[in-house]
Structure 1
């Protein structure tokens, strides 16, 4: 695997190294030793999958508040998505900045998202499937999010939104309260 740093501190785009032969290819998608060498999370007790039938579906932007903040390793295994992450760590030099990444079954890229980032995506194809390795079990009481069109960020999604949950439409403006912010130093929300 190749780990590429991004414009956002602690986010990595992970490129698979394919061993090809006449049967196709083989690649590692995770290696504890390699992730540890970069100081990344290596324990993922929860593995999840999402499937979105319609192009333009929007999921997110989600995160879990402390003490259940989560790191994620995200990979699109069918179709294509535009993945967006926002740094919501108060003491980060990239606080409130966001970046987008195209993840697809063709490019095979994975995105490492540490604790303290909101994460969401829009499907660029029909029948998009996304796999997640997640460092913490889901805790509904800690689940929170940022609305996809929150004016604090001005994210320009590539397609009209065809499907979105009521919950994702109802997140309050990010600037309306400090309770949604995570600190990198203490690991505690403020």
Structure 2
């Protein structure tokens, strides 16, 4: 389990460590740099980014979010009890950004697992093919552990993810899919 060292945590209190206002501001800004706001039709989803697990994938997500790439893209594949997949501007499941594909950044299951709210990167069966498509798990999916890159986790608003329109059949293709309203890095959003 990963712990943050912040003012007021047991470690800080036990050791007598304190942070100046500047230090607290820097920590708050660093947290905002690694927080994503995913706005959906039913409300905001807050995602904690995990550059410690997948630095290249986190940087890609932030780059594309800052470009507005994800805005109005559909959740083209949504399987009840499994996951919601988006990030393809074509809505076909075959599209991506103009940026090159990323090398796999798999984490060992002993370190992190695909649980409810985990954000992973979609890819083809071939290695090193993740680009812009991602998914959010509705439930634990241990069969993905160590085979797909984990880049974040939902920390608030999972009820809004649960309301994404589900697809039909095993493929989960969605007719008239819900769309991402907007995706932004928290550090870029006022307030």
Does TM-score exceed 0.5, indicating one fold?
A: no
From the two aligned structures, give the one with the greater helix fraction. 2
From the two aligned structures, give the one with the greater strand fraction. 1
